[in-house]
Amino acid sequence: MRVAIYDGQFADGEELNQVELARYFKVSRVPIREALRRLQAEGLVSNVAHRRAVVIGLDLGEMLELIEIRAVLEGHLVAKAGPHLDAAALERLNSLCDEMDRIRDYGYNWVLKNWEFHRTLYQPTELKAAIALVERLNLKLERYVRLTGDRRRLREAAAEHRRILKDLQRRRFDAARVHMQEHIVRTGQQIQRYLDKAGRLRSRSSARSGQPLAGGRAGGRAA
């Protein structure tokens, strides 16, 4: 269920029906209830009236706030880790850049490789609490990054990774901090552009049909 939420298979605000989930996963309702409790603790679902569980979504303001926090944290982490990255770590980062260059969409393979790149960058700091916080923020935002991303942004992100790596290879740690912060902020800008455009399209469609504009958040169940 966690993966399905991160993948955007459940829309923000969508109810998670225990009976349907148990039938889908071919288990009793007991492990489903336990899974929902864990997801609630992680901030992914919320219990509403009559013990109904719904997916918690983020609005644009919340997304941009989390992006800003990530930018500050990850800029700090890369600057702290830079002096301690050895030849093996730099080689692995270069290999990850090569692997991500071959990825053509924001699928699960990209998610895994992207997080491995960031985690490899930060590991030498041994700032475990900060790294864990970055991972939690990343997981909260991931489905929106994938929903709003396109081929152009994918290529831009890959080029930004290489620029950060080049900074580290040249021991330009302050530059790596700045470029990491810009990298994260550009992801937020992509999300904002996508949602702004989607809002304008809904407004035009509503105007043509004469129907009131429906509210809603990013996300949607996959077909």
Nearest-CA neighbor of 93 among 182, 158, 142, 30? 158
Domain edge (last residue) among 28, 55, 82: 55
Which segments of 41-101 are extended strands (E)?
A: 45-48, 52-55
List the chain pLDDT tens, one digit each, 223 residues. Answer: 887 887 778 888 899 999 999 998 899 999 999 999 999 888 889 988 767 899 988 999 999 999 999 999 999 999 999 999 999 999 999 999 999 999 998 888 898 999 999 999 999 998 999 999 999 899 889 889 988 989 999 999 999 999 999 999 999 999 999 999 999 999 999 999 999 988 766 666 656 665 544 444 444 333 2
Q: Is 23 helix (H, G, I), strand (E, B) or coil?
A: helix
Q: What is the CATH number of the domain that holds 43?
A: 1.10.10.10
0.85 cut: is pTM over it? no
Q: What is the C-alpha to C-alpha distance for residues 68 and 71, in angstroms, rounded to an integer?
A: 5
Q: Clarify whether residues 104 and 14 are in a common domain.
A: no
> Domain range holding 64?
60-200
Q: Clarify whether residues 173 and 110 are in a common domain.
A: yes
Query: Which pair of structure tokens corresponds to residue 178?
Result: 């700045």
Query: Which pair of structure tokens corresponds to residue 139?
Result: 């997981």
Q: Is 100 helix (H, G, I), strand (E, B) or coil?
A: helix
Q: What is the C-alpha to C-alpha distance for residues 64 and 129, in angstroms, rounded to an integer?
A: 22
Give bridge partners of residue 45 from the DSSP assignment: 55
Nearest-CA neighbor of 142 among 25, 44, 47? 44
Q: Clarify whether residues 140 and 51 are in a common domain.
A: no
Task: Classify residue 45: in a domain, yes or no.
Answer: yes
45-48: strand order across its sheet = 15-16, 52-55, 45-48
Query: Which pair of structure tokens corresponds to residue 142?
Result: 């991931």
Q: Clarify whether residues 65 and 108 are in a common domain.
A: yes
Domains: count for the chain: 2
Which segments of the chain are extended strands (E)?
A: 15-16, 45-48, 52-55
- Count of residues for the chain? 223
